[in-house]
Structure formats: C-alpha cells, structure tokens
Amino acid sequence: VCGRYEGVDERIAEHLVDEEISLGDFVLAGGEAAALAVVEGV
C-alpha cells in the first residue's frame, strides 16, 4: 500500500498488513518509488 497522506500507512498496517518491508532509514514524499524498488527486486 502506497499511502499519500499522513496516517494512512499506519492505520492500514494495524489492521491488514502481515509483513512490512524496509528499504532503509529515510522518508519519501510518496510510496511509489519504494513500491517500484520492491517490485523490481521480486
């Protein structure tokens, strides 16, 4: 899930997510770049 607004990711993670993947210790404006990196890695 690529949340755009503050709090969206945390609310989803609390109820629906089984596993979280971290690409590093940094913050992105949106999740699209991180999602692309995960898709390319799979």
DSSP state of 18: S
- Residue ranges covered by each domain of the chain: 8-41
Quick check: 1 and 17 in contact, CB under 8 A?
yes
The pTM score is 0.43
> 17 CB contacts (<8 Å, ≥6 apart)?
1
Q: pLDDT digit string (tens) for 20-34? A: 777 778 777 777 887
Say how far apart CA 42 and CA 7 lie, in whole Å: 27
| pLDDT grade for 7, boundaries at 50, 70 and 90 | low
Exposed e or buried b per residue across 17-30, where buried means at least 16 C-beta atoms within 10 angstroms of its C-beta: eeeeeeeeeeeeee
Task: Work out the average pLDDT over 9-27.
Answer: 76
Q: How far is it, in rounded angstroms, from Cα 6 to Cα 36?
A: 20
